[in-house]
């Protein structure tokens, strides 16, 4: 078994296969130090924590993760909070930065004798329609490498070798929301004890705690913006304005240590199985970061895929593997629907003229007011915000 990519999907899958006695190797383009430092999302749903617990992979997040269950919306019509752990199924998030989870999963896999080839870039998957596909790769020194296996799991993202190797006729549903965020990692303690969503005429702003001294902020920006266009003075001016610091109190300031621009795009591959090539994580689908679904989908898909592969390879039962794509896509489309709803809740819809639509603004105000006042709407939000 060859697993492409050492993110949450690939590493959960590799750990579960290795523990079941199935020989596998993980190919990862980055080195180990880069994986330990690569900042990503950090909100783990309760189902994700249950999966990791079930397989003995949750020690780090149990020790260092922080429970979180509140979000605050700041709008022109005032602010309100939702304690979503008191709504719907009573579930909450655990805040645990993804690079910490990846470090835990790497350590667990390597300590158990698992094989990871760091600095190895998978280039293509050949003969995926047969029963012995080949992975062609490039090693750390540029040397050509090849692996043959019964199955290849593509967990290497939307631009990886697995997606590049999909056969003709594969359907990839794509949607460009026409919006962009400037993502900021700031060396400063959180300014709110909640996830902050600010809806402002100048654009969306978001506040998400990562650790006691690191905070993630987002600022809606124009498509095509370069991260370096935003100096610290401009960043803090816009954050203060959009987060309404004059009304709610000053933000804790610190150095901006990372800037990235994220274009809000979504895609879904159908199906997720192509002969001996199987997709999981961001290779299977890419939701926007608006609802923090990516890593949670990745862990769920990895558990489903691992169980199906164990049934097939260890017990000769291929039914779960035949049903893998359908089961995952049910979860993926539900997560996509809620992520899309969140995009429309937090942003003015782009128009060809660049002028916000009054009709769209009215719909957005109505959505926020329903979320503020309707218990039924709050329960729906809580169930979908934390669930998959």
Q: Which residues are catalytic?
A: 68, 197, 289, 293, 385
Residues facing residue 218 across a β-bridge? 183, 206
Residue 246 near residue 252 (C-beta atoms within 8 A):
no
Apex CA 77: angle with CA 71 and CA 81, to 5°? 20
Residue 33 near residue 6 (C-beta atoms within 8 A):
no
Residue 274 near residue 167 (C-beta atoms within 8 A):
yes
Rounded Cα gap, residues 147 and 164, in angstroms: 17
Peptide linkage before 271 cis (omega within 30 of 0):
yes
Rounded Cα gap, residues 115 and 368, in angstroms: 49
Residue 61 near residue 52 (C-beta atoms within 8 A):
yes
Residue 22 near residue 1 (C-beta atoms within 8 A):
yes
Residues 6+ apart with CB under 8 A from 59: 104
Nearest to 53 by CA among 114, 94, 2: 94
Give Cα 35 distance to the centre of its chain: 15
Question: Which regions of 280-330 does DSSP assign to beta strands (E)?
Answer: 285-286
């Amino acid at each position: 078994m060859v697993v492409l990519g050492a993110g949450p999907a690939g590493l959960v899958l590799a750990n579960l296969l290795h523990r079941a006695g199935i020989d596998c190797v993980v190919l990862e383009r980055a080195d180990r130090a880069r994986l330990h430092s690569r900042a990503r999302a950090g909100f783990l749903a309760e189902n994700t924590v249950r999966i990791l617990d079930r397989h003995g992979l949750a020690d780090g997040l149990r020790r260092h993760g922080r429970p979180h269950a509140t979000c605050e919306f700041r709008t022109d019509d005032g602010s309100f909070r939702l304690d979503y752990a008191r709504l719907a199924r009573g579930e909450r998030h655990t805040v645990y930065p993804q690079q910490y989870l990846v470090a835990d999963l790497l350590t667990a896999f390597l300590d158990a004798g698992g094989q990871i080839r760091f600095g190895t870039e998978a280039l293509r998957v050949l003969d995926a329609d047969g029963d012995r596909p080949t992975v062609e790769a490039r090693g750390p020194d540029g040397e050509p490498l090849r692996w043959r296996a019964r199955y290849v799991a593509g967990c290497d993202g939307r631009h990886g070798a697995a997606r590049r190797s999909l056969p003709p006729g594969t359907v990839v549903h794509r949607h460009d929301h026409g919006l962009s965020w400037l993502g900021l990692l700031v060396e400063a303690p959180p300014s709110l004890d909640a996830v902050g969503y600010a809806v402002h005429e100048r654009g969306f702003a978001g506040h998400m705690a990562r650790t006691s001294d690191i905070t993630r902020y987002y600022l809606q920006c124009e498509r095509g913006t370069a991260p370096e266009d935003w100096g610290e003075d401009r960043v803090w001016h816009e954050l203060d304005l959009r987060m309404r610091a004059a009304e709610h109190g000053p933000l804790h300031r610190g150095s901006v240590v990372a800037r990235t621009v994220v274009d809000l795009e979504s895609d879904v591959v159908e199906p997720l199985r192509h002969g001996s090539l199987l997709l999981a994580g961001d290779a299977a689908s890419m939701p926007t970061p608006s609802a923090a679904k990516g890593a949670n989908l990745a862990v769920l898909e990895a558990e489903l895929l691992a169980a199906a592969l164990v049934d097939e390879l260890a017990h000769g039962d291929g039914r779960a593997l035949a049903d893998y794509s359908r089961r995952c896509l049910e979860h993926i489309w539900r997560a996509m629907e809620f992520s899309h709803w969140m995009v429309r809740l937090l942003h003015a819809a782009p128009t060809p003229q660049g002028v916000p639509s009054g009709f769209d603004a009215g719909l957005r105000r109505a959505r926020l007011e329903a979320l503020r006042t309707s218990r039924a709407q709050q329960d729906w939000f809580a169930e979908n915000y934390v669930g998959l």
